[in-house]
């Protein structure tokens, strides 16, 4: 279970509370009943409620919905208890303190959260203090503290970092839209590495393949790298290579800087190597299929995995890329139905090498380009659709580029069927765009969904690009950037920790929540309180 899913599970109910007017109206109504009831049973009944209300107002001074939510919830039981538990109505003021504690965890430690709910409980029943009541409120806080302490320890055992230290910045980013806290955390745990960028230039079109994963989500890290580089040079078409979140950049600031550096290199006339074109080569190996553009010393391959899906190819393929000059695009055009097989690396590398060993015969490099927008197609982070047509005079392909985090297999199939007979190889490509993933409560992400308008637009733009295609020269430039801060293998440990700790939490989070209710029953029995029914 990822951080966004955990966040959604525990906090979405509080973030999707009813309208403020409803909450405040109900609080006003219940408060009026409390005032009336205090006339009947004594002023302390009202004073205790006022203390509770004041403390919540101080605690959640910037989150008025939460204040009224807890008032509404507590006041209901407070009124009921005043009728059925003679003289011990104040127990109701403690019932939801662990829930209050949960809401505090994104901004403070388990110890401080425990002390705060202890303080609220003590202050609320200060006029009713007995030895048993002190034990009662302390037990609520102790159970809450040790439960969260156990959750922290489970995470620390896996990653060396407490669970809340990992989760808190993610929660702050999602709930409060505070990306600074998360980026600082990511920078602290990141490692320095060198990243490689390959650039193929055909006239004014740049095919860019960087050793960067476009995550984590929203504005964090390198999630907006695609758009940052396009802002520098709109003619860039940025593909997704092998690797996953371990090659996310730690901060958006660094991402912008690298985008600027790449753009500057594109503008420089030196170090470009002119390539020859030896045609479009198609290959298959096991579950994988690929279309390779053979440039002799270099190549650019578009790798797919029909039926089973493709998502984040092994990072070690970058060693193959850098050592051989054969660049690999992870098309990300069908979400995973089955995990990648153990022979993924050998299949892809052997398929590429076999295809480029075929008879070398120089061919024309014919390229056309067209783009447009679509509307109301679900799963897109950006409504643009960009189509590049490439032909070697005998075979041709259409690269349909959309801004999404993978695609529904049915969309890919529909586009292939629509372009059948128009080009030899219609290829849908997404850059695994994380700019619109995990930014709101709900599903972590929605892959591009089947959309008739998108399918029709793919055909229209392919025909347009094909009609405008002209013979071009192709050139290449490789860039190596050292000292770049990436997340590294810690991200995998974090995911493992969140899965294990999240699974445990899902089964046990109710323990602190029911503790006050159970203890209330026990202490009522111990004090022989008279209950009216």
Q: Are 303 and 313 in contact (CB under 8 A)?
A: yes
The token pair that represents 364 in the structure block: 């024309």
The token pair that represents 11 in the structure block: 């906090």
- Placement of tokens 């320095």 in the chain: 192
DSSP secondary structure letters along 309-361: -B----TTHHHHHHHH-EEEEE---B--SSPPPTTHHHHHHHHHHHHHTS---
Q: How much is the pLDDT for 1?
A: 35
The token pair that represents 71 in the structure block: 């008032």
- State whether residue 16 is helix, strand or coil: coil
pLDDT < 70 stretches in the chain? 1-20, 86, 171-178, 437-445, 495-499, 528-533
Q: How much is the pLDDT for 311?
A: 84
d(CA 507, CA 34) in angstroms, rounded, equals: 36
Q: How much is the pLDDT for 4?
A: 39
Biggest alpha carbon distance in the chain? 99
Sheet holding 299-304, edge to edge: 280-285, 288-294, 299-304, 326-330
Q: How much is the pLDDT for 366?
A: 97
Task: Express each pLDDT in 42-52 by its tens digit.
Answer: 899 999 999 99
Q: Phi/psi class of residue 379: alpha, beta or left (left: φ > 0; alpha: ψ in -120 to 50)?
A: left
Q: How many CB atoms lie within 10 A of CB 441?
A: 16
Q: What is the CA radius of gyration of the chain?
A: 30
Q: Phi/psi class of residue 30: alpha, beta or left (left: φ > 0; alpha: ψ in -120 to 50)?
A: alpha
The token pair that represents 354 in the structure block: 């076999």
Q: How many angstroms from the chain centroid is the CA of residue 85?
A: 48
The token pair that represents 6 in the structure block: 């955990």
d(CA 430, CA 447) in angstroms, rounded, equals: 10
Q: How much is the pLDDT for 353?
A: 95
If we measure between CA atoms, which residue out of 494, 489, 487 comes closest to residue 214?
487
Task: Express each pLDDT in 369-380 by its tens digit.
Answer: 999 999 989 999
């Amino acid at each position: 279970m990822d951080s966004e899913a955990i966040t959604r599970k525990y906090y979405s109910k509080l973030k999707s509370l009813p309208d403020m007017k409803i909450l405040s109206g109900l609080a006003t109504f219940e408060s009026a009943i409390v005032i009336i009831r205090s006339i009947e049973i004594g002023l302390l009944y009202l004073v205790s409620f006022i203390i509770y209300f004041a403390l919540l107002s101080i605690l959640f001074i910037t989150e008025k919905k939460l204040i009224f939510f807890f008032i509404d919830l507590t006041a209901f039981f407070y009124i009921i208890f005043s009728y059925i538990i003679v003289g011990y109505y104040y127990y109701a003021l403690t019932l939801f303190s662990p829930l209050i504690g949960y809401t505090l965890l994104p901004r403070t430690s388990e110890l401080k959260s425990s002390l705060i709910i202890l303080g609220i409980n003590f202050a609320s029943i200060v006029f009713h203090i007995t030895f048993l009541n002190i034990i009662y409120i302390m037990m609520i806080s102790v159970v809450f503290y040790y439960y969260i302490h156990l959750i922290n320890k489970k995470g620390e055992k896996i990653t060396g970092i407490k669970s809340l230290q990992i989760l808190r910045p993610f929660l702050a980013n999602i709930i409060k839209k505070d990306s600074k806290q998360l980026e600082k955390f990511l920078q602290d745990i990141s490692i320095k590495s060198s990243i490689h960028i390959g650039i193929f230039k055909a006239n004014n079109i740049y095919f860019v393949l960087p050793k960067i994963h476009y995550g984590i989500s929203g504005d964090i890290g390198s999630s907006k790298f695609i758009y940052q580089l396009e802002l520098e040079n709109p003619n860039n078409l940025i593909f997704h290579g092998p690797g996953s979140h371990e090659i996310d950049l730690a901060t958006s600031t660094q991402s912008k800087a690298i985008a600027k550096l790449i753009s500057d290199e594109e503008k420089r006339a030196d170090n470009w190597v002119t390539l020859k074109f030896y045609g479009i080569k198609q290959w298959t190996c096991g579950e994988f299929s690929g279309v390779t553009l053979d440039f002799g010393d270099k190549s650019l391959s578009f790798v797919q995995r029909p039926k089973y899906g493709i998502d984040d190819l092994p990072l070690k393929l970058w060693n193959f890329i850098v050592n051989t000059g054969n660049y690999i695009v992870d098309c990300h055009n069908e979400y995973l139905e089955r995990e990648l097989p153990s022979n993924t690396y050998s299949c892809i590398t052997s398929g590429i090498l076999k295809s480029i060993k075929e008879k070398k015969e120089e061919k024309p490099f014919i390229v056309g380009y067209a783009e447009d927008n679509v509307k109301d197609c679900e799963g897109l982070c950006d409504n643009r659709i960009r189509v590049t047509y490439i032909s070697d005079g005998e075979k041709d392909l259409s690269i349909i580029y959309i801004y999404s985090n993978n695609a529904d297999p049915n969309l890919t199939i529909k586009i292939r069927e629509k372009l059948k007979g128009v080009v030899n190889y219609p290829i849908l490509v997404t850059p695994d765009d994380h700019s619109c993933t995990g930014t709101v409560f709900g599903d972590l992400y929605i892959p591009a969904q089947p959309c008739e308008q998108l399918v029709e637009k793919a055909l229209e733009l392919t025909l347009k690009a094909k009609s405008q295609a002209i013979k071009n020269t192709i050139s290449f430039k490789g860039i190596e950037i050292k000292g770049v801060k990436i997340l590294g293998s810690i991200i995998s440990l974090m995911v493992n920790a969140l899965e294990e700790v999240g699974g445990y939490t899902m089964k046990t989070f109710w323990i602190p929540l029911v503790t006050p209710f159970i203890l209330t029953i026990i202490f009522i029995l111990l004090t022989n309180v008279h209950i009216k029914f």
